[in-house]
Structure formats: C-alpha cells, structure tokens
C-alpha cells in the first residue's frame, strides 16, 4: 500500500493535482447551483415550506427542530433509512461510505502528502484503497442487479440511460483508480499512465456532470426528509392520495373484481 499521488511522474507537479482537486470541488458547487436553478427545486422547496407553515396546527419548538435535524442526519443520511429493502440499503451504504473515504483521503494525500519526500501515514493509503474498493462493490452491485429497470422490469443490466451517468462514472472512476494504483505499485509505468488518464477522464465526468446526473440528489434528500419531519411534527397534512395498500380516508374503498 503506497500513496499513488506521491509517485506521479515529475511532469505532473503537486500543484497541478491540487488545482485539479479544487476545480472538481468548484464544479460540484456550481453544478448543484445550476441544477437548482434549472429545475426550480429551491423555489419549490421554499414555497412548499411556506405553505406548510400556514397549514400547521401547532408550533414546533427549537429543541424539537434540533432533534428532528439530528434524526435526519442519523436515520436518513448515516443509516440510509429511506430505503426499505435491506440489500438496497446495504449497497447504498457501501457506496456512500466508500465514496466519503475516497474523497477525504484523496484530498489529504494530494494536499498534505503530495511527494515521496513527506510520506503519508500508512493508514491513509489503506483507507484510500478501502474506499475505492467499497465503491466498486456497492456500485457494481447496484448497477448490475438492483436498478429498477433491471430488478423490477427485467431489462438488461447493460442497457444505459442518462440516469445511470452518476453511478457509471462513479464506478469507472474508482475502478480506473484501483488499476492505476496497482500498476504503478508493480512498476508497469506505461499501463499506469494509460489508466491514470482514464481515471482523470472518468473523474472529470463524475464531478463535471452534476447538472445532468443524480449527483445533486445527495444534497436534496436530507433537506426533503427534514422538511417532512417538520410537517409531521407541526400537523401539516400533504394533499396526497392514500397509499395503495390501505383504503382511502374518504370515498369508497376498492372493490374486488366480479368473478364472471
């Protein structure tokens, strides 16, 4: 296990990789803002929040708000509580925690230990490899077996649509990263250079395609879950039909088909 970023060719100075990481971060920020403006998500969210405050039957105290925020972080974010299926939740958690490990350790090694002159603690490369491996396991498991059109509709796992852009670029990034780091460690410099180029390409697509992929959804879901908890606490009732597994509150219940 070694720091692959510290072993880059001398033609790629550390400052170049640091600038690249900063540019990727800015692409995520501006891409999310563009996505918000294009879809009108922020405007809809704040308008709905205002309507919910008018339709509330009780006030929610500051302590209750803090408790709901903590519950959202623990249940929705850290434990992926919005997923009902255990396998789907497991693949999400593997991918999410692996991605966090990959991003954090990449930033630390690129900025704090960019050269072999200042070797990184052994745990950092270990966590980097672990994070990329977890993303590959969870990402390929979801992409090949658990997508809705594959698991529920029986379509081929090789069929691609625009909604797959995020997960596909994510697993491509981590796959190329692992191959590049392995070839670099074993002395295969020509192959390492080739896969390093593929790694940069996939990484740029991942962070540069935020307005067109589902990347920004990871920021929307916690906010939506928190707002839903506030509405349940203040007594606001959404104007939505009853779930299909139980009869509606008003109107006639479902009738069984006639056996002619």
Average pLDDT over residues 119-124: 89
Q: Hey, what's the torsion of the CAs at 189, 192, 197, 198, to 10 degrees?
A: 160
Domain ranges of the chain: 16-33+61-222
Both tokens assigned to 257: 């088909």
How remote is the C-alpha of 22 from its chain's centroid?
Answer: 19
| Residues 216-247 pLDDT 10s | 666 666 666 666 776 666 666 655 555 555 44
Q: Please give the structure tokens belonging to residue 146.
A: 């658990």
* CA dist list (Å): 97 to 56, 134, 170, 250: 36, 8, 13, 44
- How does pLDDT run across 48-105, given as a tens digit for each residue? 566 656 566 666 667 776 777 776 666 666 666 666 677 878 888 899 899 999 999 9
Look over the chain and give the mean of its residue pLDDT values, rounded to a whole number. 77
pLDDT tens, 7-60? 887 778 899 999 999 999 999 988 888 877 766 666 666 665 666 565 666 666
Residue 195 has pLDDT above 60, yes or no: yes
Tokens of 95: 């991918």
Q: Where are the alpha helices (DSSP H) in 40-188?
A: 41-54, 62-71, 86-112, 123-141, 148-151, 165-186
CATH T-level fold of 16-33+61-222:
Fumarate Reductase Cytochrome B subunit (1.20.950)
Per-residue b/e over 211-237, b at no fewer than 16 CB within 10 Å?
A: bbbbbbeeebeeebbbbbbbbebbebe
Q: What is the pLDDT of residue 249?
A: 42
């Amino acid at each position: 296990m070694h720091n692959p970023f510290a072993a880059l060719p001398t033609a790629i100075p550390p400052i170049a990789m640091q600038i690249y990481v900063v540019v990727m971060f800015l692409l995520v920020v501006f891409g999310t803002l563009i996505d918000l403006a294009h879809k009108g998500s922020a405007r809809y969210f704040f308008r709905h929040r205002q309507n919910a405050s008018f339709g509330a039957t009780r006030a929610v105290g500051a302590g209750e708000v803090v408790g709901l925020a903590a519950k959202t972080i623990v249940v929705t974010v850290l434990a992926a509580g919005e997923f009902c299926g255990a396998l789907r939740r497991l693949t999400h958690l593997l991918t999410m925690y692996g991605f966090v490990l990959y991003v954090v350790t990449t930033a630390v090694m690129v900025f704090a230990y960019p050269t072999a002159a200042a070797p990184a603690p052994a745990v950092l490369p270990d966590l980097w490899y672990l994070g990329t491996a977890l993303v590959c396991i969870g990402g390929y498991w979801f992409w090949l077996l658990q997508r809705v059109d594959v698991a529920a509709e029986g379509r081929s796992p090789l069929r691609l649509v625009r909604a797959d852009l995020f997960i596909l670029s994510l697993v491509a990034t981590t796959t190329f990263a692992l191959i590049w780091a392995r070839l670099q460690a074993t002395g295969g410099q020509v192959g390492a250079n080739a896969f390093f180029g593929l790694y940069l390409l996939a990484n740029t697509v991942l962070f540069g395609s935020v307005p067109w992929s589902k990347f920004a959804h990871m920021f929307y879901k916690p906010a939506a879950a928190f707002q839903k908890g506030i509405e349940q606490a203040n007594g606001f009732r959404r104007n939505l039909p009853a779930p299909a597994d139980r009869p509606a509150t008003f109107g006639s219940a479902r009738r069984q088909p006639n056996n002619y």
